[in-house]
Amino acid sequence: MSLSQRDLTFVLYECLQSEQLLSREHFAEHDKSMFDDVLKMAAELAKKEFAPHYRKSDLEEPHVVNGEFQIIPETKQALDKLREAGFFAAAASFADGGMQLPNVIWNACQALFLAANCGTTAYAFLTIGAGNLISSFGTTAQKDMYWKKMLAGEWFGTMCLSEPHAGSSLTDILSKATPRADGQYNIKGSKMWISAGDHNLAENIVHLVLAKLPNAPAGVKGISLFIVPKYRLENGALVANDVNLAGLNHKMGYRGTTNALLALGEQDNCIAELVGEPHQGLAYMFQMMNEARIGVGLGGAALACAGYEYSLSYALERRQGRALSNKDPLTNQIRIIEHTDVKRMLMAQKALSEGALALCLYASRLVDDHQTHEDATSRHEANVLLELLTPIVKAWSTHYGLEANYHAIQILGGYGYTREYPVEQIYRDNRLNPIHEGTNGIQGIDLLGRKIPMQNGLGFQLLSSRIRASTKNARENNLFALAESLDHALDAAQETTMTLMSAQASPELRLANSWHYLEMLGHIVVAWQWLIQASVAQTALQQKLSASEQEFYNGKMQTCKYFFKYELPKVAVWSNLLTSFDTTTLEMQENWF
């Protein structure tokens, strides 16, 4: 399971011009060949250490025997190699012992690992996300104690938000933190759906836990963030911190990553450290959640790419049937890629998977601009646009990434439905992504209810002007028809957005179809990414190229056309639905079901 490295470098350098980052002080010590080396190392590691146990980690799901975790040794070995190669600290600064890589380069590496084996990869990425949170909001002592170990890949990390009765509704968490005389806190509560919540892959697990202090304000305003290690350091020794595995969830897919119900402080012996200020926990956690939402979108895109690549290689070899115009049974069977309907399913996958990947990397590039752009306005704008795009990155990439995987199975037919081929596992694994880190429905509400009105619509304005710049550029590249289509679609989205924002409607009515709003804007954003790619390809095709390069760019041009012809017209359907303020769903009574 892999994704195309040529596609990665195309997006990174030709579309996102990531080598421009080298001119910034923060990345001044790098050069492009160093980026290339890192990508190459990631690709090799993904291929050698992650991909080979993809199926095995599904068949031999982690489980507990007599209190001991049984996890296939390949998982730890892959993570050890990742650690040895320094990837746990890829984005950390030189000062902290990291590689100080741009986010966009690091996320390209992540995509390679996720495509190869998302279940094993998750342990590392959760650790990195949790570490970043401590690095942003923790004290120097906390960084020295926890983050350093996490950067080294010696201790792993998690995020502990949900509880059994409070999955999406964090307002309602019940975990309690009680101050102790020593300045620390006693934690008591249950945490549910904790990915990598327990295992024996690392010396320690650093849980970042949301809990409430005594007399905290009700709701999300009373949530604080705590560091709760599985083992705490006492007199130089690690001792159990009363964080106990209360059960493992048995998932449909993504089985390589444990998912745990944790009991904290059952013996009143779970000691925690507060991170930052009291009651600011959710705001802090959102840093990790936003990072994780990009990561989940990237997972959706990477698995879509993996399914595409696999079904493509299958379609190039498998012989079955003959051309529609050939009725002679004595001729040889043709390779199924020669059947137009199979080609259609490959194009659909290419359009959805590479479109999603480009979008995820675009967002990753915005992270870099937010953090390192020389210009303050540009930094601010990058952040606003990133906030707007985050729910689309998360939800569009996972929803349509899964649709791509549907086609991959369909191309393999009966074989695709068996556990002897990887595409069914890819499909099962990817089915998690529309659920975790905020369901896709919640992303729709976040987009339309919060991100669109934010700062008087600045995010949407920034997005629109960037898209218009791209359509202008496309016209200059003679891509008139494509530019015209995207401009029209954006016109419709602008009208739709205005209508939704200006109307005197209840939040319930305004947001009734927020999921379809996300689909509408998502399709426009991905069409935009394809137009950028087509413009680059068009320019490249003017030059003298090797045959394989010419084929690559032709494929980009053709797939852009596919997306514009098959997918973009759906925008009109969603726009009509949204502007009609349809009340069908709202009026439906629960006893009418």
- 557 contacts 541 by C-beta, under 8 angstroms: yes
Site for a second copy (CB under 8 A): which residue of 198, 242, 291, 424? Answer: 424
34-45 b/e with 16+ CB inside 10 Å = b?
ebeebbeebbeb
| 147 near a second copy, judged by CB under 8 A | no
437 flagged as catalytic: yes
> Residue 473 corresponds to which tokens in the numbers above?
């550029």
Instruction: State the Cα–Cα distance between residues 194 and 258, nearest whole angstrom.
Output: 8
Q: Which stretch binds a second copy (CB under 8 A): 10-18, 39-47, 70-78, 582-590?
A: 582-590
Residues 494-533 touching a second copy, rule: CB under 8 A, are 506-508, 511-515
How far CA 317 is from CA of 311, 350, 357, 571, in Å, comes to: 10, 18, 26, 36
| 317 near a second copy, judged by CB under 8 A | no
Instruction: State the Cα–Cα distance between residues 526 and 567, nearest whole angstrom.
Output: 10
If the CB atoms of residues 156 and 517 are measured against a second copy, the closer one turns out to be 517
Residues 224-263 touching a second copy, rule: CB under 8 A, are 249-253
Beta strands, E only, 265-386: 271-275
Q: What is the DSSP letter of 50?
A: I
Nearest distance from residue 8's CB to a second copy, in Å?
Answer: 16
Instruction: State the Cα–Cα distance between residues 76 and 82, nearest whole angstrom.
Output: 10
Nearest distance from residue 278's CB to a second copy, in Å?
Answer: 17
x/- mask, a second copy, residues 200-219, rule CB under 8 A, reads: ------------------xx
Residue from 387, 437, 519, 567 carrying the catalytic annotation = 437
| 280 near a second copy, judged by CB under 8 A | no
Return the SS3 of 155.
strand
| 321 near a second copy, judged by CB under 8 A | yes
Q: Which stretch binds a second copy (CB under 8 A): 95-103, 149-157, 474-482, 548-556?
A: 548-556
Nearest distance from residue 439's CB to a second copy, in Å?
Answer: 6
| 194 near a second copy, judged by CB under 8 A | no
Nearest distance from residue 28's CB to a second copy, in Å?
Answer: 39
In this structure, the chain runs to a length of 593
Site for a second copy (CB under 8 A): which residue of 299, 307, 401, 444? Answer: 444
Q: How far is CA 161 from the centre of its chain?
A: 18
x/- mask, a second copy, residues 333-362, rule CB under 8 A, reads: x---xx-xxxxxxxx--x------------
Nearest distance from residue 89's CB to a second copy, in Å?
Answer: 31
- Residues that bind a second copy (rule: CB under 8 A) add up to a total of 105
Site for a second copy (CB under 8 A): which residue of 140, 325, 377, 542? Answer: 325
| 94 near a second copy, judged by CB under 8 A | no
Q: How far is CA 169 from the centre of its chain?
A: 21
| 145 near a second copy, judged by CB under 8 A | no
| 570 near a second copy, judged by CB under 8 A | yes
Nearest distance from residue 560's CB to a second copy, in Å?
Answer: 10
If the CB atoms of residues 475 and 570 are measured against a second copy, the closer one turns out to be 570
If the CB atoms of residues 18 and 535 are measured against a second copy, the closer one turns out to be 535
- 275 contacts 134 by C-beta, under 8 angstroms: yes
How far CA 305 is from CA of 423, 424, 478, 526, 543, in Å, comes to: 11, 14, 29, 15, 28
The residue among 526, 571, 575, 534 whose CA lies nearest residue 555 is: 534
How far CA 567 is from CA of 140, 153, 304, 507, 553, in Å, comes to: 50, 42, 17, 29, 20
Residue 289 burial by Cβ neighbours in a 10 Å radius (0-12, 13-18, 19+): buried
x/- mask, a second copy, residues 360-379, rule CB under 8 A, reads: --------------------
If the CB atoms of residues 267 and 333 are measured against a second copy, the closer one turns out to be 333
Instruction: State the Cα–Cα distance between residues 1 and 308, nearest whole angstrom.
Output: 10
Could you give the residue numbers annotated as active site?
437
